[in-house]
Amino acid sequence: MSRERFEKFKQVLRQRQPDMTVLTDKVHKAQNISAILRTAEAAGIGTLHMVKPERGHLVYHNTAGGIGRFTEQVVHENIEQGMAHLKGQGMALYAAHWSDRAIDYREADYTRPFALVMGAEKHGLSDYASREADAHVTIPIIGLVESYNVSVAAAIILQEAMQQRQKAGLYEREFNEDEHYHTTLFEWMHPKMVRYCKAHKLPYPAIDEDGDIIPPKDERYRRPFDSHEK
């Protein structure tokens, strides 16, 4: 692991936006989940929330060209559970949905804690999500298509959210390097050691100022170091 990569990881973690996320309402196509994951990560989102599709088939793994491992994915059994969870965290729920109460997506305040709720590919937003959302946001269209692809719509809206937050200085706000920060940093940098520690129920070893693992004296760690599995 190069020092440059180590510093990049630290910078990205410091700019994460814990009060901004996406909740997908039964979106099931792998390419759409992959694209939303990439967009969310690019905007500084650390956790993506998903509602399990009706068919019960999850296609969220091994997508996004590896970006998935840098963005936590939380799967909810239903939209009621997902929305209640995010509301409990104090987030406003902005649903990408056309209705009589919809506003232009650029008029929404994305500097407040919020979750962007995206409907499924074919059926769109569920009735419950539409009813319980705090606001509906739409993207103007002048062509013949009725709507943007779900992943494209998410990208357009999150770009606006990122721009608003940059102007408000939210990507430069004070950051607390807590236990979660250090754990996440280790997991990003040393995935092989993470797998070894989890398989053997071992705590993660310490790292030095360059991000390299400090070899523990505990014999239980001997195998990965002997085989250079860092």
What is the band of 226 on the pLDDT scale with cuts at 50, 70, 90? low
Q: What is the pTM of this model?
A: 0.87
State the pairing for strand pair 135-138/72-76: unpaired
Sequence letter at residue 226: D
Q: Among 137, 167, 197, where does a domain finish? A: 167
Tens of pLDDT, residue by residue over 170-217, are 999 888 889 999 999 999 999 999 999 999 999 999 999 889 999 888
What's the rounded Cα separation, in Å, for the pair 147 and 202?
49
- Please tell me whether residues 188 and 147 are part of one structural domain: no
Is the per-residue pLDDT at 62 higher than 70? no
What's the rounded Cα separation, in Å, for the pair 124 and 127?
9
- Please tell me whether residues 85 and 57 are part of one structural domain: yes
Q: Which residues contact 100 (CB under 8 A, 6 or more apart)?
A: none
The whole domain housing 123 covers 18-167
What is the band of 147 on the pLDDT scale with cuts at 50, 70, 90? confident
- Please tell me whether residues 63 and 31 are part of one structural domain: yes
- Please tell me whether residues 44 and 96 are part of one structural domain: yes
Report DSSP state, residue 114: E
Q: Percent of the chain at pLDDT above 90?
A: 71
- Please tell me whether residues 157 and 216 are part of one structural domain: no
What is the band of 223 on the pLDDT scale with cuts at 50, 70, 90? confident
Q: Are 193 and 75 in contact (CB under 8 A)?
A: no
Predicted confidence at residue 10, as pLDDT, reads: 93
- Please tell me whether residues 73 and 151 are part of one structural domain: yes
CATH of the domain at 119: 3.40.1280.10
Predicted confidence at residue 230, as pLDDT, reads: 47
What is the band of 65 on the pLDDT scale with cuts at 50, 70, 90? low
Predicted confidence at residue 227, as pLDDT, reads: 59
- Please tell me whether residues 91 and 30 are part of one structural domain: yes
Q: Among 132, 150, 167, where does a domain finish? A: 167
- Please tell me whether residues 149 and 197 are part of one structural domain: no
- The mean pLDDT of the chain is 89
Q: Which range has the worst mean pLDDT, 82-86, 159-163, 183-187?
A: 183-187
Token pair for 185: 């940093």
Q: Among 119, 141, 167, where does a domain finish? A: 167
How distant, in Å, are the alpha carbons of 17, 76, 80, 90 from that of 51?
A: 21, 5, 9, 19
- Please tell me whether residues 24 and 119 are part of one structural domain: yes
Tens of pLDDT, residue by residue over 24-60, are 999 988 889 999 999 999 999 999 999 988 765 454 5
Average pLDDT, stretch 62-73?
Answer: 72
Number of domains the chain contains:
2
